[in-house]
Structures are given as C-alpha cells and as structure tokens.
Structure 1
Amino acid sequence: MGHSLGAGTVTQRELIGRTITVLALVILAWFLVWLVVQVTEVLVLLLVSGILASGLAPLVRLLQRWRIPGGMRFSRSVAIFALYLVLFCVFLLILSIILIPAVNETGRFVQQLPQLLTRLRPMLTELHGRQPWLPDLAGTLDRLPSMVSNLSRFGPQAANVAFRFLGGLTAVITVLVFTFYMLLEGADIKRGMVALFPPAERSRVSTVLDRIGTKFGGWLRAQLLLSLSVAVPVTAGLYLLGMPYPFLLGIIAGIGELIPMVGPTLGASVAILVALSQQTWQLFGVIVFYVIVLNVEPHILVPRIMSQVVGMSPILTLAALLTGIKLLGILGGLLAVPVAAALQV
C-alpha cells in the first residue's frame, strides 16, 4: 500500500524513512544551536583573538622583513615575541605618562567629591522646585552617604568580585595566547579551513578569508584611531578650559569611544558633573565643547573612518551595532561591526 505524491508513488517505508530523516535534521539543528549557546564565551574569545591577530599580522610581517645586524631576519615566532614585548613596553609607557597622572587625579576627585556634592545640592533643589517633573536628584545626593556606608555590609560579595576579576584576567590571557598561535600558525589554520571545501571552491574561499582578515584588521585600527581622535582633543580642550582632571576625563572619553552608543554620552556626563563645581563660564564652555564633540563623533568621525578603513556604510554600521547590543549587550555591539564587515565579503 502506498501514498501518491504527484506523479509518483511513495511507499510507507519510504515515507517513514523521510520522516525519520526530517526529524533527525531537526534534532541535529537543535543540537547545533544548543552547542553554540553553550560555547558562546569560547566563540567570543576566538573572535576577539581573530580580530587582534588580523590587526597585528601586518606588524609581524614588517618585523620579519626588518634586517637585524649581521643581515639576519627575525623568524615569525621571534617577530611575534618582539611585537608582544614592544606592545608591553608601550603599555608601560602609557601607564607612566597618562594613567599615573590620571590615577592621581582620580584620588583628588574622590577626595573633593563631598565638597562637590555639597555645592550641587542647593542647585539641584532649586532646579527640582522649578521643574517638579524632574527626578529629585538632591534627595539622591542626601542618600549617597548611607549608600556608601552600606557598601561595607557587602563583605561576602568581595569574593564574588575577586572571582570576576580573575575571570576577566583569565579571559585576557586566553585571548593573548589564542592571538599568539593565530599569528604563528595563521597560514596552517587557513589551509585547514580551505581544505574543508571542494577543490573547485578553494581559491575563492582563500580569497574570502583574506578579505575577512583585512576587514578585521581594518576595524581594529579604526577603533584605535577613533579612541585617539576623541581622547586627545578632549584632554587638550579640557586643559585649555582650565578644567581639573583633564587626563582622567580624556581617558574616560577615549575608553567611552569603545563602548557603542552610550560610551561618548557617559564620558560627557562625567565631565559636565565635574564642571558643575567650577565657574559658570567653564561649565558653559564644557557643555558647548561636548555638544561639538558628540556631533562631530557620530556624524563625521565614525562614518568617515569606518567607511575608509573598514568599507562599511553608516546605515549598515548602525544596524549592526543595534543588533549586536540586542543579542550580547555592549560586547555584542563592540563585535557587531567587524562581524558585519566580514559578512559583506
């Protein structure tokens, strides 16, 4: 006995076989989705490592071409070690030149924070009286001392914070190790991936992988360029305005540039909060300065740098950011642009 299907006939055994095949495919698809969800953290680490490796690969090749005394050249492993050493020295240099003054400024800011809050309270009370629809920020300031004192009651959470810090440190070390081996064995990894495809497609797949690496490296350089393009002018502008903590606020602005959508606004909010304790002309100058920065950054800097370095349109960049933030939060927004750029290839 059979079931008719179009012009042909399907036996009951064939129907059962096809049903089992479909169910098996559905179960396999579900298992693959479950597996991806379970290893999302590892996949993110691999993606970050791949982006770093793509950005550092040109520097490794440059070191390999550089002749040392005696006419010898660096091997690839030595070139990678040398690059890591140079980057570590640059990190220490930045630490000594910028971060140490910033830490000192942070200490002074924390010491002066009670005075700042005292000066802000009458201003916020008057503002709330004139505009009752605004939140009672003065009441929030009054509750800050008790909120700070309550932090001492959360001693057991210190272990949780320590574990999170160690987890973050482990992730950083893992990324550095992954990046090292990707730089060292990048050609072998690429050959292994290309070998998974039919011979007729391998040339095209190899070209696509090269373009993806170029996109990843371009995005990394674009992010660093954007951070510097914001941090340096902000530091200089706040210094010229006579603001305290210009190094600290400049670093906050540069780091904020790495946080999609909300980072620049948070940096501006911190600077304006500090400016509230200064003279009126300084507060006005800081507000005008950040209005300019917050308009130049998304409308001129980001589209121009991303389009020239990464080759993505502003609309696609914004759509990728929103999608990434929706899926994985801030980290998703940070990684969304390079992934979207790779999918463009």
Structure 2
Amino acid sequence: MLLLALGLAWLLAKEIILIYVSALFAAVLMPIVNHIMQIKVRGRRTSKAAAIFLIVSGMGLVVGIFLTVGLPPVVHDLNQFSAELPTRIPKMMSRVNQLPIANRLGVNEIAQRAEGAFTTAASYLMTSLPNWLSHLFDILSAIFLCIYFMLEGDRAYRFALSLVPTLYRDRLGRTLERADKKIGKWLVGQGLLMLILGISSTIVFAVLHVRYFLLLGFLMGLFNIIPIAGGVFTITLSAIVAAFDSWTKLAGVVIFYLLYLNVENAYLTPRIMGSSVELSGLTILIALLCGTALAGVVGALVAVPTAALIAVILEEYAVQKDAV
C-alpha cells in the first residue's frame, strides 16, 4: 500500500505540487478574506464569495496595468532592435575590422557565431511556445484551485482532520492553526514590504529617467516575495537597463538599492514583520535551495511559508524542551 502511494505520488508529482501551492496561498489569503468579510455594506456583511471576488479583481487589475502600461515599451524596443539588427551588424563589423587587432580576435568568426546564436534563439522561442502555453495553463489551474480552496477550504480541512485518530486530532488542529496564523502574518508583512519597495523604486527610477521604470518598479516589488534571490535578480536587471543609458543612472540605481536595504533591515522589517516567522537566515537559504531544486521558481516562492509550517510542526512534535 505504501509503495502504491509512493508510486502515485511520483507520477503525480507536478499535480501534487500545484495542489499544495494553491492550498498554501489559499490558507495565507484567508485572513484577508475574513477581514473583508467584516466590512458591512448597508448593514450586511460581505459574503465570502464577494470578498474573494474583490481580491481576485484587485490582482487582475494590477496584472492588467502591468500588461498595458509597463510591458508595451519593452516589446516596442525589442521589435525595433530586432528589425534594425541586420543593418547594424555590418556597420559594427566594418568599424571593428578597422582595428589593428581585429584579425587576432577573430571578429568575423565571433560575428558568425552571434548570428547563429540569434537564429537558434529565435527557433527555440518558436519551438518552446507549447511549453509556455502549458505553464500558462498551470497558472490558470492554480488560480482556480486557490479560489476553490478559499471557498471550500474549511470543509476540506475538517475532512482531513477527521482522518486523524481522535486522540491526536485536537493537538494537530491547534498546531496547524498556529502555523496558519504565523504564515498569514508573514504574508501581510511581506505584502507591505513588496508594496513599499515597488512604489519607492518606481518613483526613484522615474526621477532618474531609467527606461521601463514602471516595469522595473513592478518587478522589484513582485520579486521581493522571494527572499534574497528575488532582490538580486531585480537589482541586477535594473542595473543593466540603467547602464545602457549612462553610468550615472547605474550608480543612482545601485545607491538607491543599498540605501533601501539598510532602511528595510534596520527599520521596516523589524516593525512590519516582527516575529511573524522567526526563521534564521541559514534556514531561509536552505529552504530556498530545496524549494528551487524541487519546483523551480514556484518552489522558491513558497519556500519560506513552507519552512515556517515545518518549523511549527517540528517545534510541537520533535523539539525536546527542557523541563523547568
């Protein structure tokens, strides 16, 4: 029986990860749903379905603004660059060939390889389109699963607990409720940090006249949900974009991020996050490595709340506390 269960888990690994991620996000979003449900409209409290609709609509609005405002300039510049590339390469090569060391560097061979690389990249994008569509289907499936978990999560939770023997059921229920509160506090705090970073970086990038400042600000806030790795990725991307314009903009972007890191670590995180997760830096790094290895970006996204859940369970069932 155990071997059969392990075999099924191996075959359905992708679907199990999808269900787990959806259930986890539903669990951490439920405090927001419950808070919205306390709001009274004409003397009546908001229903759960209406609260979930407001959350999904808000997220859809943010994504819509991103697609209509932040993304089109990037697509336009990429199309223009690809259209002008065939005419730019010969001009660049003629200038480089005038250098005395051009023959030693093998410039012509490098250009041929670069042209072949562009062709390979274009063909890869065309052949990988079905994979991108598959990922899009997974994202939509996760969204719908998350909505259903928020709508019917209480019933599923009670059913899962009913499978546990009565002797251990109350203790497990209290442990999971404590973990749920801790993860919910982490999500709210992380959401505030994401919002602050996204708004502040967008304003600073706009003042510095960095290209695609709306897109970069959105990505800075969004990827801040992934500790360490998200910040490294977004600041590197922002620095590269700024460097295409001038070294002054590059220096401004780096200085802003270093100042923000100090403000966040010294002031924002202690006051916003407090002791919501209580995980050491080493634990977070290990969780990120394991989550990324198991499920890529999605695994990194849920690594910290999963580590918090495991920490609460270990604290309750495995940690041997000294007798007072």
State the TM-score bracket (shorter-chain normalisation). Answer: 0.7 to 0.9
Select the residue among 148, 160, 179 that pairs with 2:118. Answer: 148
Which sections of structure 2, spanning at least 5 residues, go unmatched? 97-105, 313-324
Aligned partners of 1:93, 1:149: CA distance in 2, in Å? 36
Aligned partners of 2:36, 2:219: CA distance in 1, in Å? 33
Q: CA deviation at 1:106?
A: 0.8
Write the letter of the residue equivalent to 1:38. L
Q: Is the 8 A contact 2:37 2:51 kept in 1?
A: no
Equivalent residue number for residue 271 of structure 1? 238
Q: Encode CA deviations 1:302-340: one digit per residue, 9 max, x unaligned.
A: 787665333323332222222323333333222222121
Equivalent residue number for residue 18 of structure 1? none
Aligned partners of 1:264, 1:245: CA distance in 2, in Å? 18
Task: Return closer, same or farther for 1:329/1:171 CA change in 2, 3 Å cut-off.
Answer: closer
The number of equivalent residue pairs is 296
Select the residue among 334, 340, 343 that pairs with 2:301. Answer: 334
SS in structure 1 opposite 2:279?
coil
Write the letter of the residue equivalent to 1:103. L
Equivalent residue number for residue 284 of structure 1? 251
Q: Is the 8 A contact 1:264 1:294 kept in 2?
A: no
Written as runs of structure 1 = structure 2, the 5 A alignment for 1:59-208 is: 59-69=32-42, 71-75=43-47, 79-80=48-49, 82-95=50-63, 97-110=65-78, 113=81, 143-153=113-123, 157=127, 160-162=128-130, 164-208=131-175
Q: CA deviation at 1:281?
A: 2.3
Task: Return closer, same or farther for 1:247/1:340 CA change in 2, 3 Å cut-off.
Answer: same
Q: Encode CA deviations 1:227-278: one digit per residue, 9 max, x unaligned.
A: 3233222212222222222112212323333445433223222222222232
Equivalent residue number for residue 25 of structure 1? none
**Greater C-alpha radius of gyration:** 1
Q: Is the 8 A contact 1:45 1:175 kept in 2?
A: yes
Select the residue among 214, 239, 250 that pairs with 1:247. Answer: 214
- Of 287-296 and 199-208, more deviation after overlay is shown by 287-296
SS in structure 1 opposite 2:245?
coil
Write the letter of the residue equivalent to 2:117. M
Written as runs of structure 1 = structure 2, the 5 A alignment for 1:47-62 is: 47-62=20-35
Q: Is the 8 A contact 1:64 1:73 kept in 2?
A: yes
Aligned partners of 2:138, 2:54: CA distance in 1, in Å? 21
Equivalent residue number for residue 289 of structure 2? 322
Q: Encode CA deviations 1:191-219: one digit per residue, 9 max, x unaligned.
A: 22222233232221211121232233334
Q: Is the 8 A contact 1:54 1:214 kept in 2?
A: no
Q: CA deviation at 1:151?
A: 4.4
Aligned partners of 1:144, 1:294: CA distance in 2, in Å? 38
Q: Is the 8 A contact 1:101 1:247 kept in 2?
A: yes
Residue identity over aligned pairs, in percent, reads 28
Q: CA RMSD in A?
A: 3.8
Aligned partners of 1:280, 1:49: CA distance in 2, in Å? 43
- Of 199-208 and 93-102, more deviation after overlay is shown by 93-102
Equivalent residue number for residue 211 of structure 1? 178
- Of 57-66 and 198-207, more deviation after overlay is shown by 57-66
Task: Return closer, same or farther for 1:321/1:202 CA change in 2, 3 Å cut-off.
Answer: same
- Of 37-46 and 262-271, more deviation after overlay is shown by 262-271
Aligned partners of 1:182, 1:98: CA distance in 2, in Å? 27
State the TM-score, normalized to the length of structure 2. 0.74
SS in structure 2 opposite 1:309?
coil
| Residue 33 in structure 1 maps to residue 6 in structure 2 | yes
Aligned partners of 1:94, 1:42: CA distance in 2, in Å? 27
Which sections of structure 1, spanning at least 5 residues, go unmatched? 1-27, 126-135
Task: Return closer, same or farther for 1:89/1:226 CA change in 2, 3 Å cut-off.
Answer: same
Task: Return closer, same or farther for 1:60/1:318 CA change in 2, 3 Å cut-off.
Answer: same
Q: Is the 8 A contact 1:51 1:213 kept in 2?
A: no
Aligned partners of 1:299, 1:35: CA distance in 2, in Å? 47
State the TM-score, normalized to the length of structure 1. 0.70
